[in-house]
Amino acid sequence: MVEVKNLTKHYGHVTAVHDLSFEIRDNEILGFLGPNGAGKSTTMNIIAGYLPTSAGAVSVCGHDIKEDARAAKRCIGYLPEIPPLYPDMRVEEYLRYCAGIKGIRRGEVKKEVERVMKRLQLTDMRRRLIANLSKGYKQRVGLAQALIGDPKLLILDEPTVGLDPTQVSELRKFIKELGREHSVILSSHILGEISAVCDRVIIINKGELCAMDTIENLERRMAGGAVLSITVEGDQLDVSLVLTEIDGVEEVLDVDIIDDNTSVFKVQLSDENARQRIMSAMVENHFGVVEMSMDKPDLEKVFLDITGKKK
């Protein structure tokens, strides 16, 4: 569907994207994750054909974005960070215009605009001026514009920014539905969004690829370094000493004192099976275990860990 090979982009002396290679399969939702300024928008702008590459190649549906730009652009629906709307146009009028510049045949424009408006529930808003729409509706019109012409690839640059929680969850559901018929690239710096919607994730930081995998794999990758949180009755120092001597315990990360005799210990494990040994060690030393739980590493941790390493 989309192939990105050794993509590099310089802005003057600044390298925004460095040697990025990945591919997007058919009907897949690919999450594009990275802190602000990581090069997400630049990469998306390049794939959409807005910015040229400094080096490397991008092909969309088998068409090179540089050599065969027109054919490639026909396969793409792009919703930039700021939806490209004309405030002085009406919704329907605007969508008709979009259909026109996307090269939809005259006779099919009406049908196509109706289809997209129905899909995004904009039919009641068709006569409204875009300037008078709420943020949520503006975003919908932006998405409608990307969907016109039924492009195989949808590029959505932070589509949920500035929406209220109901709208966000609606939009996520909608994007998930889109993933059945289209390939979608979704960028975000919100991790929950990516893990809720995407099949695969690419994490980039400072223009470089940090990780590319499915969400399950990324989480599994971090499982070795699981964190156990254990609430124990007993002297903090003694408990700490006992804990650090157990096989499979890396270190005690944090101690949270609840009262004189009770504390919560965060323990970094190198081996998940150390739990039993900890339990028996506590019993042997007559410490009362009040509570014990595993902190499952979520995408957030993976993300912080991966992007943190690069710094």
Residue 126 lies near another protein (rule: CB under 8 A): no
Residue 85 lies near another protein (rule: CB under 8 A): yes
- In sequence order, what are the residues at sequence separation of 6 or more whose Cβ sits closer than 8 angstroms to the Cβ of residue 155? 44, 47, 48, 76, 77, 78, 79, 146, 184, 185
Residue 82 lies near another protein (rule: CB under 8 A): yes
Are 263 and 256 in contact by the 8 Å Cβ rule? The answer is yes
Residue 252 lies near another protein (rule: CB under 8 A): no
Query: Toward another protein, which CB reaches closer, 70 or 311?
Result: 70
Residue 66 lies near another protein (rule: CB under 8 A): no
Query: What is the edge-to-edge ordering of all strands in the sheet holding 14-24?
Result: 14-24, 2-11, 55-60, 63-64
Identify which range of 99-107, 114-122, 159-167, 182-190 contacts another protein by CB under 8 A: 99-107
Options 5, 66, 74, 277; binder of another protein; rule CB under 8 A: 74
Residue 170 tokens, joined: 């609606």
Query: Toward another protein, which CB reaches closer, 11 or 164?
Result: 11
Options 6, 23, 26, 103; binder of another protein; rule CB under 8 A: 103
Neighbours of 289 (CB within 10 A): 14
Using DSSP, how many helices (H) and how many strands (E) does the chain show?
Answer: 11, 14
Calpha distance 309→19 (Å, rounded): 18
Calpha distance 33→182 (Å, rounded): 20
Identify which range of 94-102, 184-192, 214-222, 280-288 contacts another protein by CB under 8 A: 94-102
Query: Toward another protein, which CB reaches closer, 100 or 308?
Result: 100
Here the contacts of 66-73 (C-beta below 8 Å, separation 24 or greater) are 73/48, 73/49
Closest approach of another protein to the CB of residue 134, in Å: 18
Q: Which residues bind another protein (CB under 8 A)?
A: 11-12, 45, 48-52, 70, 73-74, 76, 78, 80-89, 93, 96-103, 145
